[in-house]
């Protein structure tokens, strides 16, 4: 196809990348561990580990996994943790063992966790003790046979480890009581792995690396099958775009987004190719603490979402930070709003670089050129990526030149490239819905202009985007409809200053005494906090099509 965006590429930016430099992610890791052995790799809660230490720890965990009964190559291992040093250790250990990572949001309710463990067929899970009580409630209904637990401070030096774990458990009381027979502490697993043989696995480019879960039109989370080649390609595609001024072993990354989210996961790996140090932020919601941590570093790059940037701009002390070493700040997960982008540039002296992607594309698809001010677009397709605007019959629509009826140029944004997923795990029907002749139908609606820039104008799907996290109306509606006082309901997105969008449910009552508080309390038992409706409206009837389908668009 005619890649008209190449003419707008920054000088020196290649149109294509080599997606096959490495056979697998462990092949890349082996090179990084050797090349940057003495360089710091990750920092969290006061401790820094080097690339050499990360190699040793992840090797020990890989050896431990390989020694477990029934844990062969290709088995799925879930990880349920916030950003801690344990995360990269177990993440890379799973991959080096030839197994598949299943990232799990630690805020999941028992219902959500049960579905993901059942669907993925995970045989093992690594979980922070703070969330073990959730696992305990559903463990018997899942295929999980091996539970590895860790406390927040377990990789910190003694006596800080003891102090942190004591405060979290007994002072802050952040660890609900739990009991899982046969669970193994991560410390013990690593110790066992150190004395066990590690057998490097011959991993192929098309082997699965991640089952990265995302919602769907059915309201049931689906596992996007991301191969080693998918991830490696996107590391190169996005890395080459943002690393123009990077120096090996010199970059310091502030990483407040959770590693279980595809945006942070891939960007962290991309920065590692430069031997960077990533400062993992365990609780980014504590903005004063985040600002304090940022003040400890001459950081050069950062990733985030619009809500985080907006929150930082309104946190005392942020404007006084030293931004003199800052090179790149990438915003993804949700649209960066113009007022936030403009204020960020005023305060820090640097542009926010907006990127666009999806879980299904590992995730990067488009990015605004570095140093470009906010213009309302999502930028240009990254190298080795094709983007096409298609109508409902999958016909390609013409480029928008600024003249005529823009609606004739507006359609579904479709993507093709080496970063596009293999499909949805055990879900050929949903796979067929979104993949067509190698093209991924994103569900986002927009147009392509004659400079190669893409603008999103609408969402074909009814997805709600809360602080960069996908929320699907059908899931919300199925939970709300289970309330005995609800006759029927619909969930839609409404604008929100803090989170970009928030969930609103419109309800027709069966019980005339049903209250907003009752609905929200009911939802909290089955939905992660960001999915819980912020707004509840009661009506006598919902707008519907002649065949009875609820018209969410009218409600919006």
The C-alpha atoms of residue 251 and residue 17 are separated, in whole angstroms, by: 23
The C-alpha atoms of residue 241 and residue 264 are separated, in whole angstroms, by: 16
Condensed to tens digits (0 to 9), the pLDDT of residues 36-55 reads 999 999 999 999 999 999 99
Topology of the domain covering 47-203: Rossmann fold (3.40.50)
CATH number of 464-555: 3.30.300.30
The C-alpha atoms of residue 444 and residue 334 are separated, in whole angstroms, by: 12
Condensed to tens digits (0 to 9), the pLDDT of residues 304-313 reads 988 799 889 9
- In the predicted model, is pLDDT for residue 29 greater than 60? yes
At 216 the pLDDT is 46
Condensed to tens digits (0 to 9), the pLDDT of residues 373-399 reads 889 899 999 999 999 999 989 999 999
Domains 231-383 and 464-555 share a fold: no
CATH, domain 231-383, list 3.40.630.10, 3.40.50.12780, 1.10.10.10, 3.40.980.10: 3.40.50.12780
CATH superfamily, domain 388-412+425-461, is Luciferase; Domain 3 (2.30.38.10)
- In the predicted model, is pLDDT for residue 215 greater than 70? no
Task: Return the sign of the alpha-carbon dihedral for residues 361, 367, 41, 20.
Answer: positive
Q: At 545, is the pLDDT very low, low, confident or very high (cuts 50, 70, 90)?
A: low
At 116 the pLDDT is 96
Three-state SS for 419?
coil
139: exposed, middle or buried (C-beta count within 10 Å: 0-12, 13-18, 19+)? Answer: buried
Tokens of 394: 């999958």
CA angle at 469 for the pair 297 and 91, rounded to the nearest 5°: 60
Count the helix, strand and coil residues of the chain and give each as a percent rounded to the nearest 5: 35, 25, 40
Condensed to tens digits (0 to 9), the pLDDT of residues 231-280 reads 999 999 999 999 999 999 999 999 999 999 999 999 999 999 999 999 99
At 469 the pLDDT is 87
The C-alpha atoms of residue 64 and residue 194 are separated, in whole angstroms, by: 8
- In the predicted model, is pLDDT for residue 488 greater than 90? no
Condensed to tens digits (0 to 9), the pLDDT of residues 439-473 reads 999 999 899 999 999 998 877 677 788 988 888 78
pTM: 0.88
Q: What percent of the chain has pLDDT over 90?
A: 83
Condensed to tens digits (0 to 9), the pLDDT of residues 144-166 reads 999 999 999 999 999 999 999 99
Tokens of 215: 């919602």
Give yes or no for a cis peptide into 121 (omega within 30° of 0): no
- In the predicted model, is pLDDT for residue 67 greater than 70? yes
The C-alpha atoms of residue 106 and residue 132 are separated, in whole angstroms, by: 10
**Domain-by-domain residue ranges, the chain?**
47-203, 231-383, 388-412+425-461, 464-555
Tokens of 491: 């969930």
């Amino acid at each position: 196809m005619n890649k008209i965006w190449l003419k707008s590429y920054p000088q020196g930016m290649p149109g294509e990348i080599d997606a096959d430099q490495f056979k697998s992610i462990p092949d890349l890791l082996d090179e990084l561990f050797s090349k940057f052995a003495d360089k710091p790799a990750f920092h969290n809660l006061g401790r820094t580990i080097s690339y050499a230490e990360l190699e040793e720890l992840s090797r020990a965990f890989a050896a431990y996994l390989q020694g477990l009964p029934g844990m062969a190559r290709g088995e799925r291992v879930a990880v349920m943790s916030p950003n801690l040093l344990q995360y990269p250790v177990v993440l890379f250990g799973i991959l080096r063992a030839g197994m598949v990572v299943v990232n799990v949001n630690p805020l999941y309710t028992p219902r959500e966790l049960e579905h993901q463990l059942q669907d993925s067929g995970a045989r093992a899970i690594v979980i922070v003790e703070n969330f073990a009580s959730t696992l305990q409630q559903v463990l018997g209904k899942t295929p999980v046979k091996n539970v590895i637990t860790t406390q927040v401070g377990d990789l910190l030096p003694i006596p800080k480890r003891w102090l942190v774990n004591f405060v979290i458990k007994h002072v802050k009381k952040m660890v609900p009581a739990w009991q899982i027979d046969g669970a193994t502490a991560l410390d013990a697993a690593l110790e066992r792995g150190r004395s066990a043989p590690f057998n490097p696995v011959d991993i192929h480019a098309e082997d699965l690396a991640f089952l990265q879960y995302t919602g769907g039109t059915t309201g049931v989370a689906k596992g996007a099958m991301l191969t080693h080649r998918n991830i490696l390609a996107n590391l190169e595609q996005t890395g080459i775009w943002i690393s123009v001024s990077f120096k090996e072993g010199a970059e310091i990354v502030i990483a407040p987004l959770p590693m279980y989210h595809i945006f942070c996961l891939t960007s962290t790996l991309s920065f590692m190719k430069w031997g960077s140090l990533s400062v993992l932020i365990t609780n980014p919601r504590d903005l004063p603490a985040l600002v304090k941590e940022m003040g400890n570093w001459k950081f050069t790059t950062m990733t985030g979402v619009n809500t985080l940037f907006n929150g930082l701009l309104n946190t005392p002390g942020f404007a006084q930070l030293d931004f003199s070493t800052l090179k790149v700040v990438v915003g993804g997960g949700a649209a960066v709003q113009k007022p936030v982008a403009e204020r960020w540039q005023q305060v820090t002296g640097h542009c926010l670089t907006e990127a666009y992607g999806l879980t299904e594309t590992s995730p990067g698809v488009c990015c605004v050129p570095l140093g470009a001010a906010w213009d309302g677009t999502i930028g240009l397709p990254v190298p080795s990526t094709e983007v096409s605007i298609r109508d409902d019959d999958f016909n390609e629509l013409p480029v928008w030149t600024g003249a005529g009826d823009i609606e004739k140029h507006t359609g579904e944004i479709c993507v093709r490239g080496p970063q596009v997923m293999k499909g949805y795990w055990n879900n050929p029907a949903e796979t067929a819905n979104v993949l067509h002749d190698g093209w991924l139908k994103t569900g986002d609606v927009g147009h392509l202009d004659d400079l190669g820039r893409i603008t999103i104008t609408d969402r074909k799907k009814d997805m709600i985007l809360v602080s960069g996290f996908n929320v699907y109306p059908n899931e919300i509606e199925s939970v709300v409809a289970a309330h005995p006082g609800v006759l029927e309901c619909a969930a839609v997105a409404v604008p929100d200053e803090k989170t970009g969008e928030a969930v609103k449910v419109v309800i027709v009552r069966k019980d005339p005494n049903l209250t907003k508080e009752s609905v929200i309390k009911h939802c909290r038992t089955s939905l992660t906090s960001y999915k819980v409706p912020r707004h509840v409206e009661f009506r006598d009837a919902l707008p519907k099509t002649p065949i009875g389908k609820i018209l969410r668009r009218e409600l919006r």
